[in-house]
Amino acid sequence: MRSVAAFLVLALIWTSGLLAFAARVQQSTPAPQPQVADGIVVLTGAASSERIGAGVDLLSNGYGKRVLVSGVNREASREDIRNVSGAVKRLYDCCVDLGFTAADTVGNARETADWTKAMRFRSLIVVTADYHMPRAMLELKAVLGRQGVALQPFPVATSALNARRWWRSPTAARLLVVEYCKYLAILGRELVLNLGPRDRGPAAAPQKA
């Protein structure tokens, strides 16, 4: 009986967390007007054209100096991405960089960190899908937080989530459940890492007598 009760309690906690996660995702869009940052990073994935278009719009309106599109398909050309973005050629050729190395969110974070360091940027606007934003911010903060880079989320709405009736759609329900589980896994990883010993830096050299 105790094991059944414990399972029911865990299931209730998990379900409550899922509902809170879904509410957070749904309430994140439309995104508020961001503050001007040094750069803009777009994390590709499903419905990438909407994400890339949003990032280029921010660039054209002066919210950043350059855009990185992270995780671009290696078979795609610069012209392919420009057509998807709808960007003016002059602006695109000047200020849009493509990253081809990232294959997942962890790769996005590493690719973004390398680009940010190379550009000497101290602040970024992060553009990705609304459901992907919580996990993306965890991964980015894990890498860029050590560099002191300020991050602003700019989530893009996902039409499949259909406002507050996502549970009626198998596609939307699966999308949120899978993303919630991934988010919990990354959150657990960060909690475990934060419990470890802190890096105290190099030890002071012994003083001579």
Domain count along the chain: 1
Q: Using N-to-C axis directions, what is the helix angle for 2-27 and 133-144, rounded to 10°?
A: 90
Residue 19 placed within a domain? no
pLDDT in tens, 99-116: 999 999 999 999 999 999
Domain range enclosing 84 = 26-159
pLDDT of residue 194: 74
Distance CA 82, CA 173 (A): 32
Give the global pTM.
0.86
pLDDT in tens, 23-76: 999 889 889 999 999 999 999 876 578 899 999 999 999 999 999 999 998 888
Residue 63 placed within a domain? yes
Q: Output the domain CATH number for residue 62.
A: 3.40.50.620
Distance CA 112, CA 137 (A): 12
Residue 87 placed within a domain? yes
pLDDT of residue 169: 85
Residue 109 placed within a domain? yes
pLDDT at 20 over 70: yes
* Residue recorded with tokens 């409550």: 16
pLDDT in tens, 152-202: 999 999 887 765 678 888 888 999 999 999 999 999 988 887 775 544 444
pLDDT at 204 over 80: no
